[in-house]
Amino acid sequence: MDRQTPGGPPLTYLDHAASAPMRDEVVEAMAPFASGVFGHPSGQHRQARAARQALEDARDTIAELLGAAPREVVFTSGGTEADNLAVLGVLGAAVRRRSGDATAVVSSSVEHAAVLEACRVASARLGVVHERVGVDSQGLFDLARLEQALEDLGGDVALVTVMLANNEVGTVQPLGDVVALTRSLAPQAVVHTDAVQAAAWLDVAQAAPGVDLVSVSAHKLGGPKGAGALVVGEGTEIEPLFVGGGQERERRSGTHDVAGAVGLATALAAAAREREAESARVGALRDRLADGLLHAVPSVIEAAARELVLPGHCHLCFSGVDREELVVLLDEAGVCVSAGAACASGALEPSHVLAAMGVPAASARGSIRFSLGHTTAAEDVERVLAVVPEAVARLRG
């Protein structure tokens, strides 16, 4: 995406994994609900009925695209809330149901902070045992260690949560194997996957067969910020985080964001419709970018093998460079990329993902995530190939 910024260079946006630009069809679909259809969807008059119809149509679309039943779709404010509701909701219900018996959750060591922090809170407040399972040098989940953890914890395991694709390096996880192991060794456990990063690129129903809970977020797909959903499989018990009006079958109280739900459904449908063609197109651009930078810049490594990661992810580690300084230089040149996980203050935290993968600290300090998406064009890649080598050389000099 090449746009002119006021008083600056053209904008080249390669940070789709953080937030993708809104799709035109999403803006158009949401527009009527910004002013014209403003009724409360829980009401009875015509304005309310129109809002409720739009909400339920969106629910039907999302359910079909995620391989779920409409009644299983719970609207949330985004991926973080969906992850929190999955983890704390399941564990809260399990602790209450078990009445003092031990309760455990098993996660990968490279989960998004929304999952890891929820597990930490469950440990601190509910006494839940949290077992982290590591990954290999490519970021792939260690199935042998999962098997050992499930055998050790046995009937205590209430939840297994493994993301479908990593948000930093893009590695796609073997969810089918995770589900099979869990069903065999801990059949009482619920399986959750954070599909926030994956939903734009993968058919979630096929890539994560048999999971009980799935988290998605609109703004990773070209939809609005502040809209997401959690698929809660029939029979999966969760404690609500929000109580009050009893919306979403008493799983998530609060007035619905109808425009957000419509935006999520529209973005998810567009991503599904374009998935095959866009995966090939963007994957080719990603390969051109990675090959070009590996050729033009000395002492660079790819975080994970391309055949294992999402088509839009290109995560490189530049030795002898501070990632924050490189992001600033690239931003000054109009190139938007990401340097790691940002906390609320905007400061960068050390990457727990790269550490879990065994990437040396010296290399991790120079890690940059280039993430391509539906607005990325060939000229964007060529501009980055022209700008990055000069910026790296300047910092190393």
Alpha helices in 20-107 (DSSP H): 24-30, 46-66, 79-98
- How far is it, in rounded angstroms, from Cα 218 to Cα 30? 13
DSSP-derived secondary structure for 230-297: EEE-TT-----SS-SS-HHHHTS-S---HHHHHHHHHHHHHHHHHHHHHHHHHHHHHHHHHHHHHHHS
**Active-site annotation holder among 119, 314, 336, 343:** 343
Q: C-alpha angle 166/130/243, rounded to 5°?
A: 85
Residue 338, burial from CB neighbour count under 10 angstroms (0-12, 13-18, 19+) = buried
Give the 3-state DSSP-derived string for 149-216, with helices as H, strands as E and coil as C: HHHHHHHHEEEEECCCECCCCCEECCHHHHHHHHHHHCCCCEEEEECCCCCCCCCHHHHCCCCCEEEE
CB atoms within 10 A of CB 235: 8
Sign of the alpha-carbon torsion through 11, 12, 18, 19 = positive
**336 is known as an active-site residue:** no
Instruction: Measure the CA–CA gap between 214 and 348, rounded to whole angstroms.
Output: 28
Q: How far apart are CA 97 and CA 99, in angstroms?
A: 6
Q: Could you give the residue numbers annotated as active site?
A: 343
